[in-house]
Amino acid sequence: MSSSTDILVTMQLVQKYLYQFVSPVLMFIGTIGCILNLIIFSQKHLRKNPCSIYFIAYNLANFVFIYSSLLPTILSVGYTIDFSTRNIVLCRVRLYITILSNFLSPLYLVLASADRVLITSSNALTRRRSTLRFAYICIACGTLFWTLLHAPVLVLTNIIQIGPNTLICYFQLSAYISFLSFCSLFKATIGLLLMTIFGLWSIKNIRSLQKVRPAASLSATVTKVDAAPHSNSSKDRQLCFILLIDIIIYALFSFTYAINLIYQQITQNYVKNAERTQIESFISNICQFSGTIPFCISCYANLIISKTFRNEIKKILSCQKNFRIH
């Protein structure tokens, strides 16, 4: 019994220190990374590429998630400070923004990966479908869908007392909790599946193009065959590789979260003792922490895999305004 108690105490300490010391560092590097990504992809000539528009939306969603979810969790778990339990409006708005940004971020990755399938196609007509107008429409429709779908959070959330001097900002209806769990499971599994399919499809397209054309023609800005608005240039391939690493990172760190969601759905009606409940809560929090990592490290992964990206970061930091991906 003493051994079990020691294990539970150790898990609580690990969880506390994780959010007290590690998470603030993650939040800091995530903030810097999102800002750098936004500066790069917001360059005038890059904004003409649909994939850059998706990256801008993706990093905006990541930035919002960091400050609506990670920061409050750091304060509540690491330092026992929870402002959302002091005001019902703040409680509802914070939870709504957290859920919304958590769903929008992978949506934009899926849209970006679909765009890369279009732009790497060997068919000129297919490539012409990758346009700025289509990107804005997809982002607007996807954002509107999730915004309206999660609107009930603004009404069904309340400050609930779960114990002596213990308040939480959470949902009132168990039915809505089940619905949200289903949506989260759908996002984690179907979203990941779509990213994987589109990512592999893009790789297949790039390899096919390399077989058909000489390497020199791939880096040309415009050719007669590629008279589409966005040619299969080196810039497009660079954006492809950046997107692929973002997908890999999302898959690696979100996989455990998806598995945990599936487990929760399967065992939600099981009778559990206090010890098992605490262990599962600890595992859920660790998986949740793991799920926040992709929101914070995208920029640094780009720095590692792309020499061009590193050079452009140097230009930005040295206040040079000329920016072009070759």
Domain boundaries, the chain: 2-317
> Taken in order 192, 193, 196, 198, is the CA torsion positive or negative?
negative
Q: Residue 162 carries which DSSP code?
A: E
pLDDT tens across the length of the chain (326 residues): 567 788 888 888 998 999 999 999 999 999 999 999 999 888 887 788 899 999 999 999 999 999 999 999 999 988 989 888 999 999 999 999 999 999 999 999 999 999 999 998 888 898 899 999 999 999 999 999 999 999 999 999 999 887 787 788 888 877 888 888 889 888 988 998 999 999 899 988 888 876 665 544 434 444 444 444 444 467 777 788 889 999 999 988 888 877 887 787 788 777 778 788 888 888 888 888 998 999 999 999 988 887 777 877 888 777 655 545 55
Distance CA(182)–CA(149), nearest Å, equals 13
End-to-end CA separation in angstroms for the chain: 63
CA distance 316 to 318: 5
How does 301-326 read in b/e, with b if 16+ C-beta sit within 10 Å?
Answer: bbeeebebbeebbeeeeeeeeebebe
Burial class of residue 5 in the structure, from the number of CB atoms within 10 Å of its CB (0-12 exposed, 13-18 middle, 19+ buried): exposed
2-317: CATH topology is Rhopdopsin 7-helix transmembrane proteins (1.20.1070)
- pLDDT for position 111: 97
Tokens of 147: 């915004």
Prediction pTM value: 0.87
Query: SS3 for 142?
Result: helix
* 259, β-bridge pairs: none
Residue 226: predicted pLDDT: 44
Cβ neighbors of 140 (< 8 A, separation 6 or more) are none
Alpha-carbon 119 to chain mean position: 22
**176: CB partners within 8 A, 6+ apart:** 152, 156
* Cβ-based burial of 15 (10 A; exposed 0-12, middle 13-18, buried ≥19): middle
With a CB cutoff of 8 Å and minimum separation 6, the contacts of 255 are 192
The C-alpha atoms of residue 200 and residue 270 are separated, in whole angstroms, by: 39
User: How many other CB atoms sit within 10 Å of the CB of residue 76?
Assistant: 17
For 240, other C-beta atoms within 10 Å of its C-beta total 23
pLDDT score, position 322: 52
> What stretch of H or E contains 169?
strand 166-171
